[in-house]
Amino acid sequence: MNIIDLHCDALLKLQEAKGVLRFADAPDLQTNKNRLQQGQIKVQCFAIFIEPEIKGDHKFQVALEQIDYFYKEVLGRNPDMVHIKEWSDFDRLKIGQIGAMLTLEGVDAIGNDLAKLHILYRLGVRSVGLTWNQANLAADGAGEPRGAGLTLFGKEIVEFNNEHQILTDVSHLSDKGIWEVIELAKYPIASHSNARALCHHPRNLTDEQAKAMFANGGHIHVVYHPPFVKESGEVKITDLVKHIDHFCSLGGVKQIGLGSDFDGISTFITDLEDASKSQNLINELLKHFKEEEVKGFAYENFLNYRPGIKR
């Protein structure tokens, strides 16, 4: 069954390896092309992420370097990888092709300059998360003790996203920031977050937040990172399925998707260690849900959510 995965950090690994890794088959990449093919990943979203220790005046350069690796290594060396730049591009993918879409995990790279976000948009970014775990000029992240919401600049970014049909990603935001995005964004999404009711972690969503996301048309993509799935012990695929079932119980059966966080994690769910194992998750889901529902979680829900697509 085809899968749309809304989040991986392969670009960070490619950039930090400085040309040593080959996207096609590097063992160090959990989302290398071979593994994507084996796992039937039809579209992989590639996050641009800037490590917190990078100096402010160098952040945008690092973002551009990661985009260069996306164009040069992911697309340039692999003609069967197809750049998703418009929402309608999903429908033009042919058999044997894998779609590749850029996302931005935290707006640290743009500083206070909205023109830089416009540049990233022109280069193909179609989903924007305002923060990582810390605070920046747009908002507080999930790990910021202050717990504030969006700044005026953060609200400008959400408006920019609305105008340009860009998803606004609440994963990594503070609780207050999540509520403000739900209120302001036309296209809210959690690209890689689970249910806090099942695993009490600030990166996960409360039931109230999840229900508000669903009520406002937003989508939640569950994440495979073990600390966000289960608080202790071995984490199995069935533990992740419980999060999907929980979100379904809150009314989100048609608004749930997948966001692995591969290449951004170093511990794994058993039998879900890289993209090649993705069908193990699908097979387990088919034991608990109708096939049409599983197709929704895997790819159809997101296809129905894309901005600008007539439904």
Q: What is the pLDDT of residues 70-111, one digit of tens each?
A: 999 999 999 999 999 999 999 999 999 999 999 999 999 999
Q: How many residues are present in the chain? A: 311
Tokens of 119: 């540049």
- Express each pLDDT in 38-77 by its tens digit: 999 999 999 999 999 999 889 999 999 999 999 999 999 9
Average confidence score pLDDT of the chain: 97
Instruction: Tell me how many degrees the CA angle 115-118-119 measures, rounded to the nearest 5.
Output: 95
Q: Which DSSP letter does residue 81 get?
A: E
Residue 118: strand, helix, or coil: helix
Identify the helix (H) or strand (E) that includes residue 102: strand 98-105
Bridge partners of 127, per DSSP, are 167
Task: State the pTM of this model.
Answer: 0.97
Yes or no: say if 110 and 61 are a contact pair by the CB < 8 Å rule.
no
Yes or no: say if 144 and 175 are a contact pair by the CB < 8 Å rule.
no
Q: What is the largest CA-CA distance in the chain?
A: 51
Instruction: Tell me how many degrees the CA angle 169-10-210 measures, rounded to the nearest 5.
Output: 25
Evaluate the CA torsion angle 244, 49, 121, 77 in order and state its sign.
negative
Residue type, 276: S
Evaluate the CA torsion angle 309, 283, 205, 190 in order and state its sign.
negative
Whether the per-residue pLDDT at 2 is higher than 80: the answer is yes
Instruction: Tell me how many degrees the CA angle 27-30-33 measures, rounded to the nearest 5.
Output: 80
pLDDT at 296: 98
- Express each pLDDT in 107-164 by its tens digit: 999 999 999 999 999 999 999 999 999 999 999 999 999 999 999 999 999 999 999 9
pLDDT at 144: 97
